[in-house]
Every structure is written in structure tokens, then in C-alpha cells.
């Protein structure tokens, strides 16, 4: 069934959009990522104008994250205190990121920078997670009797303004989570995604939060950052397509519920290795596109100010 | 002076005579195209007749050229090149205006029925319909060719030589397919009759392409009340997220 999208001004198959939403929703629920890093490139691929894809995706992430976070609230795997600290950093970062994005846009080459950002961050994070979770799985298989090493208390624990995050079982300075939130906010605004795929590993490896809490807390934070981004896009660029968003989110919210339940049955290491593989796959595809000669060397964009 | 007016009369007379000999009357199957939620393109039938005071001249063939043109927009066209091992945009040019849709249908190959001078004056072929007064590049035509190539692949530009049927040298008709990715606005349909590659008569009419119903409401809201639109989008998103969660909880319990 073809449906005409009023803002994107293209006609696409409604079932295709529902299916894409559902697929990305499952992944979103499982891993606590918004799924934007998958969905945005997929929307480009089916012919949605990039500006509309990025803005509408932000709106859709709000829905799937909200649906996902409710499931996590029920299981009490959301660290609200940590979420709020990350959020303060995140909103500041997003506002900053939009400014940087506009600056880059004025100089051209914004497409390339976004792509490079994707390749670099997806590559590093995917690679690190893959190696780490592979080691974790090997360790749990081979040496069942080894005593878990006490976490090294590095420079992070020497910082002031310490707060107790009870859900995460951490006693930590607010500065690292604020900075993590800020950095992810900047990147998510530039890359047009929720930023879960950066946030999740940052919470596990930098802040040392338990994996089970990380997913729900990441989703909680993402809701607000992407809601903010949606409003910015809607009021400045008029690029949020409600019809597109509804189709994606109907699939997305159902998928997120299923995904959150699948996630319960998987071990933390398995969850991480799957996410790592997926991140590496997307990274590989984007890198491939940058290195191989495209079939069409020319592209048409909207006219400059005349 | 006498010589001059004689020459003038000789020059003007045949042209005027030809121009008045044949006229064109035409109609469209529809003057409005409504973009609804399930819009998947449209087909417009264009038909007409050649009106004559005298029998049709037998020494030249009748050319019928029909064009349909969408609203003009400015464009930035970028070209990629390999730098530091990766493919990136290296050159960008501005094109002042290019139609968002352009179809030209004829009853014979264009070079047989239309002279370059006429084409140039009336912007009939796609190449002429794209206006770039100054392109800052070594190879400007590459960029214009790229626009035509990309849009032809999307069915937005169509050159349909031989698509106009002419019956008894008098009646003609063709159909133009409008693809689903149409831009709103006033489209122009033009019909030209030619003899000896010169235009002898023309006709022009408008086609209005507009979103209607829900499509119209959403589009207007997004542009006129962006904040409300944005909040509404968020509300729908959160309601859908909550709804799905509630439904699943109900199913499980």
C-alpha cells in the first residue's frame, strides 16, 4: 500500500515503513539504543530526503524509547538520579551540537563529516565492545573459579562532588556523567541519532555501571534529548513528517516491547557481543561506501540562498 | 523607400499567412491534481485539434510538441571525487532554476520538427528549461547533464518522442504520467504546432497540483504552527509508546 508523506513529499510503501520500524524497535528494546544509527541510513536508502529522515527519526526514537523505558521501569532497572545528571549534560551538548552542525553546514562537506563520525565512532565502539565481550565470554567458560578482580579506582574516583547512585551501586563524582552526557549530546545532534550506541558503552566502561541498569537509564535519557531535537527540527526546519513518524513508531513501539523481553533472556555478554557485531556491520557498510566509487558521482541538493 | 516596404511585405506576408492558417484548441483530462494520502502518481490526458481556415499545406509535415512543466526551484549540484582515498564532494555549482518536473512529448523526432532558434526562444527541450546563467566550473555541461540524468531516472524528466498521436493531420492526443514524488504548485501545459521546424501556433494552460485533506492539514500545521506541530508529534510518539507498553502488559497478565 503506497502512502504519500506530506512533509517528505514522496510516496512510499506503508508496510515497508512498519516493517523497518518493527525491526529497529526490537533492536532498540534489546540493547537500549534508540536505533537511529540504523534507521537514519535506512531511510536515506528508501528515498526519504536526509533532512526529513534525521528530524523524523528523532521523533520516532522518542516513541520507541518511551515504550522501552516503561518496561525497564517495571523491572526497576532505571537509575533516575544518573539519568537526570546525564540529561543535564545531554541537553547542553545537543544545543551545542546543533550550533556546530550549522557551522559545518555553512562550510559544505557536512555529509562527509557525518559519515566520518559514524565510521570512526561505530568502528571504535564496536571493536572495543566486541573484544571485551569476547574476552568476558571466554573467561566465564575457561576459568570458572577465578575471583573477580576488584575494580581499579582511577582518576575518576578522585574527582569532587561525589553523589551516591543507589540503583547503580556507585559512589561517583557528578563530573564524569555530566561530561559523558555532554559529549553524547554533541555527537547525537551532529549525527542525527539518539546516541545510545555511544552512551551505553560509555556508561559501562567509563562510569562502571552494571549492564542491566545501563539500558533503561540510557533510554530514559534519550527520550528527553531526542524530544528536544524534534522540537528544534520542527520549529526551525519544518522537517518532521508526522505521517512517516506514526508509521515508523507503530512498528517501533511494538518491536521495542518484544525486544525488551528478548533482552531479559540473554546474558549481558551475549547482549554486548550482538550489539558490537551490529555496530561493526553498519560501520563496515558506511566505510565501504566511502572507499568504493559510487555509481552516480553527482548529487542534487536544495538551492543556496538566491 | 518603396523597395524597402516591398521587401518587408515579402518577408512578413508568408509568415503571417502561415501563422493565421492554423490554430490549436486543446483540453486536459484534469486541471487539478489532488495529492491525497494514497497518491501514487497520476496520468494526464492532453488532447486537441488543429483549426484551419484552409486545407492543410501538403508540402510540410505537422509537428505537435506538448510540454508539461512543474514549478522552478534553485539547485545545488555536487560532484564527488576521490581525495585521500575516500569519495567526497569536491565541486559544487548553483543552478539558478530547474523545473521540478518536465515532460516533453512530440509526434516525431524533435530535430525534425523544431529549430534550435525556436527552442532557444521558448525553452522547449529539457536542456533549455534548466537555467544556469553562470556555472563556476571547467565543465558546466556535466552538471546540467547530471541533473537531467538523475531526474530522468526518477521519472521527473521525460522526453517522449513519438508519444503524441496525430489523426488525419488534425486531431492529436497524448498522456503524460506524473510520478508520485510530485512537488506542489502550478504546473504549465504548453502545446506547439510547427511547420518546417517553425512554430505556427501555441496554446497554454495551467494544471494545479495541491495536497488535499489530511495531507493539506498536516502540511499547513507544520509550517504555520511549528511549535504546536512539534508538541503534537511528541504527544503522539509518547502516547504510542505508552499504548504499546500497556497493551503488552495486558497481554501478558
Q: Residue A73 in contact with residue A29, Cβ under 8 Å?
A: no
CB distance from B241 to chain A under 8 Å? yes
Per-residue pLDDT of A201-240, as tens digits, reads 788 878 888 877 888 888 888 888 888 888 887 887 788 8
Tell me what pLDDT residue B200 has: 87
Output the pLDDT for position B45: 92
Nearest to A94 by CA among A183, A208, A176, A214: A183
For the cut 50, the answer to whether the pLDDT of residue B124 exceeds it is yes
Q: Inform me whether the C-beta atom of residue A230 falls under 8 Å from chain B C-beta atoms.
A: yes
Would an 8 Å CB–CB cutoff place A33 in contact with chain B?
no
Asked if pLDDT for residue A93 goes beyond 80, the answer is yes
Which of B149, B215, B238 lies nearest to residue A66, judging by beta carbons? Answer: B238
3-state secondary structure of A10: strand
Q: What is the pLDDT of residues A243-287, one digit of tens each?
A: 898 888 888 878 877 887 887 787 777 777 887 888 888 888 888
CB proximity B213 to A under 8 Å: no
CA pair distance A277, A123, nearest whole angstrom: 10
Contacts of A100 (CB under 8 A, 6+ apart): A186, A189, A190
* Cross-chain residue pair B80–A59, CB shorter than 8 Å: no
- A114-152 per-position pLDDT tens digit: 778 878 888 887 888 788 888 877 877 765 544 444 455
pLDDT value at A59 more than 50: yes
Contact A243 B245 (CB under 8 A): no
The structure's pTM equals 0.73
B133 contact A CB<8A: no
Give the confidence band of B181 by pLDDT, cuts at 50, 70, 90. confident
Nearest to B226 among A68, A227, A234 (CB): A234
pLDDT reported for residue A289: 80
| Confidence at residue B14, expressed as pLDDT on a 0 to 100 scale | 47
Render pLDDT for A40-57 as a digit per residue (tens, 0 to 9).
Answer: 878 877 878 777 887 888
pLDDT band at A105 (very low <50, low <70, confident <90, very high): low
SS (H, E, C) A198-210: HHHHHHHHHCCCC
Please report which confidence band the pLDDT of residue B174 belongs to, taking 50, 70 and 90 as the band edges.
Answer: very high
pLDDT of res. A108 = 59
Q: Going by C-beta distance under 8 Å and a sequence separation of 6 or more, which residues neighbour residue B206? A: B31, B186, B187, B188, B189
Whether residue A299 and residue B234 make contact (CB cut-off 8 A), yes or no, is: no
Q: Among A99-103, A241-245, A298-302, name the most confident range.
A: A241-245
pLDDT at position A75 is 81
Cell representation of residue A2: 503506497
Chain A residue with CA closest to B80: the answer is: A297
pLDDT of residue A156: 63
For every residue of chain B, DSSP letters joined together read: -HHHHHHHHHHHHHHHHHHHHEEEEEEES-SEEEE-TT---EEEEEEEEEEESSPPPSSS-EEEEEEEE--EEEEEEEEEEEETTEEEEEEEEEEEEEESSEEEEESS-HHHH--HHHHHHHT-SHHHHSB-S---SS-HHHHHHHHHHHHHHTTSEEEEET-SEEETTTEEEEEEEEPSSPPPEEEEEEEEEEETTEEEEEEEEEEEEEE-HHHHHHHHHHHHSHHHHHHHHHHHHHHHHHHHHHHHHHHH-
Kindly identify which residue of chain B lies nearest to residue A293, measuring between CA atoms: B87
Distances (CA, A) of B20 to B12, B16, B24, B50: 12, 6, 11, 12
pLDDT in tens, B16-61: 444 457 888 888 888 888 888 778 888 899 999 988 887 777 777 8
Higher pLDDT, A274 or A101: A274
Nearest to B105 by CA among B45, B167, B29: B45
User: Residue for cell digits 540524468?
Assistant: B149
Cα–Cα separations (whole angstroms), residue B151 to A127, B140, B154: 40, 17, 5
pLDDT average, residue stretch B1-18: 49
User: Is B241 close to A250, i.e. CB distance below 8 A?
Assistant: no
Q: What is the mean pLDDT of chain B?
A: 83
Classify A170 as helix, strand or coil: strand
The answer to whether the CB atoms of A62 and B243 lie below 8 A apart is no
As a whole number, mean pLDDT of residues B99-105 equals 91
pLDDT in tens, B58-91: 777 888 999 999 898 888 888 888 888 888 777 8
pLDDT at B15 over 50: no
Q: Which range is least confidently modeled, A12-16, A64-68, B104-108, B148-152?
A: A64-68
* pLDDT higher than 80, residue A106: no
Over residues B208-248, the pLDDT tens digits come to: 888 888 888 888 888 888 888 889 988 988 888 788 778 87
Instruction: Tell me which residues of chain A, numbers 231 to 290, contact chain B at a CB-CB cutoff of 8 Å.
Output: 231, 233-235, 238, 240, 242-243, 245-246, 249-250, 253-254, 256-257, 289-290
- The answer to whether residue B162 scores a pLDDT higher than 50 is yes
Is residue A30 within 8 angstroms of chain B, CB to CB? no
Arithmetic mean of pLDDT, B151-166: 88
Across the interface, do A299 and B80 touch by the CB < 8 Å criterion? yes
- Cβ partners under 8 Å of residue A276, min gap 6: A125, A126, A127, A129, A130, A133
CB of B77 closer than 8 Å to CB of B150: no
Amino acid at each position: 500500500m503506497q502512502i504519500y508523506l506530506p512533509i517528505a513529499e514522496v510516496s512510499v510503501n506503508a508496510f515497508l515503513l512498519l516493517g523497518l520500524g518493527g525491526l529497529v524497535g526490537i533492536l532498540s528494546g534489546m540493547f537500549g539504543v534508540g536505533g537511529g544509527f540504523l534507521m537514519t541510513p535506512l531511510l536515506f536508502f528508501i528515498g526519504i530526503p536526509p533532512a526529513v529522515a534525521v528530524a523524523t527519526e528523532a521523533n520516532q526514537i522518542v516513541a520507541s524509547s518511551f515504550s522501552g523505558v516503561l518496561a525497564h521501569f517495571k523491572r526497576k532497572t532505571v537509575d533516575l538520579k544518573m539519568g537526570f545528571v546525564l540529561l543535564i549534560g545531554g541537553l547542553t551538548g545537543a544545543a551545542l551540537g546543533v550550533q556546530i552542525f550549522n557551522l559545518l553546514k555553512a562550510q559544505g562537506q557536512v555529509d562527509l563529516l557525518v559519515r566520518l563520525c559514524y565510521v570512526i565512532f561505530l568502528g571504535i565502539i564496536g571493536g572495543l565492545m566486541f573484544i571485551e565481550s569476547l574476552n568476558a565470554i571466554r573467561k566465564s567458560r575457561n576459568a570458572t573459579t577465578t575471583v573477580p578482580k576488584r575494580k581499579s579506582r582511577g582518576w575518576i574516583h578522585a574527582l569532587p562532588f561525589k553523589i551516591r547512585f543507589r540503583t547503580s551501586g556507585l559512589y561517583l563524582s557528578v563530573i564524569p556523567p555530566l561530561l559523558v552526557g555532554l559529549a553524547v549530546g554533541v555527537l547525537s545532534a551532529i549525527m542525527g541519532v539518539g546516541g545510545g550506541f555511544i552512551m551505553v558503552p560509555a556508561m559501562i566502561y567509563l562510569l562502571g555501571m552494571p549492564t542491566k541498569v545501563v539500558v533503561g537509564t540510557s533510554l530514559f535519557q534519550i527520550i528527553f534529548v531526542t524530544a528536544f531535537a524534534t522540537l528544534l527540527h520542527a520549529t526551525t526546519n519544518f522537517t518532521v513528517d508526522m505521517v512517516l513518524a506514526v508509521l515508523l513508531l507503530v512498528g517501533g513501539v511494538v518491536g521495542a516491547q518484544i525486544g525488551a523481553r528478548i533482552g531479559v533472556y540473554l546474558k549481558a555478554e551475549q547482549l554486548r557481543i550482538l550489539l558490537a557485531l551490529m555496530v561493526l556491520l553498519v560501520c563496515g557498510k558506511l566505510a565501504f561506501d566511502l572507499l568504493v566509487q559510487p555509481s552516480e558521482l553527482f548529487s542534487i541538493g536544495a538551492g543556496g540562498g538566491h | 523607400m518603396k523597395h524597402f516596404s516591398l521587401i518587408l511585405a515579402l518577408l512578413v506576408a508568408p509568415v503571417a499567412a502561415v501563422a493565421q492558417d492554423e490554430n490549436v484548441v486543446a483540453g486536459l483530462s484534469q486541471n487539478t491534481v489532488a495529492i491525497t494520502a494514497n497518491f501514487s502518481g497520476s496520468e494526464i490526458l492532453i488532447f486537441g485539434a488543429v483549426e484551419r481556415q484552409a486545407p492543410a499545406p501538403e508540402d510540410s509535415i505537422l509537428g505537435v510538441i506538448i510540454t508539461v512543466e512543474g514549478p522552478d526551484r534553485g539547485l545545488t549540484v555536487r560532484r564527488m571525487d576521490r581525495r585521500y582515498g575516500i569519495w567526497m564532494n569536491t565541486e559544487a555549482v548553483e543552478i539558478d532554476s530547474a523545473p521540478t518536473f518536465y515532460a516533453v512529448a512530440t509526434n516525431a523526432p524533435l530535430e525534425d520538427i523544431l529549430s534550435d532558434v525556436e527552442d532557444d526562444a521558448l525553452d522547449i527541450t529539457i536542456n533549455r528549461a534548466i537555467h544556469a546563467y553562470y556555472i563556476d566550473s571547467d565543465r558546466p555541461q556535466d552538471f546540467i547533464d547530471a541533473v537531467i540524468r538523475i531526474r530522468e531516472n526518477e521519472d521527473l524528466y521525460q522526453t517522449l518522442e513519438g508519444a503524441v498521436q496525430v489523426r488525419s493531420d488534425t486531431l492529436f492526443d497524448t498522456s503524460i504520467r506524473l510520478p508520485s514524488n510530485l512537488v506542489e504548485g502550478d504546473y504549465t501545459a504548453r502545446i506547439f504546432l510547427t511547420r518546417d521546424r517553425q512554430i505556427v501556433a501555441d496554446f497554454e494552460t495551467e494544471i494545479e497540483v495541491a495536497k488535499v485533506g489530511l495531507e493539506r492539514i498536516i502540511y499547513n500545521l507544520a509550517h504555520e504552527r511549528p511549535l504546536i506541530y512539534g508538541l503534537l508529534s511528541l504527544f503522539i510518539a509518547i502516547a504510542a509508546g505508552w499504548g504499546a507498553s500497556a497493551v503488552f502488559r495486558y497481554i501478558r497478565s
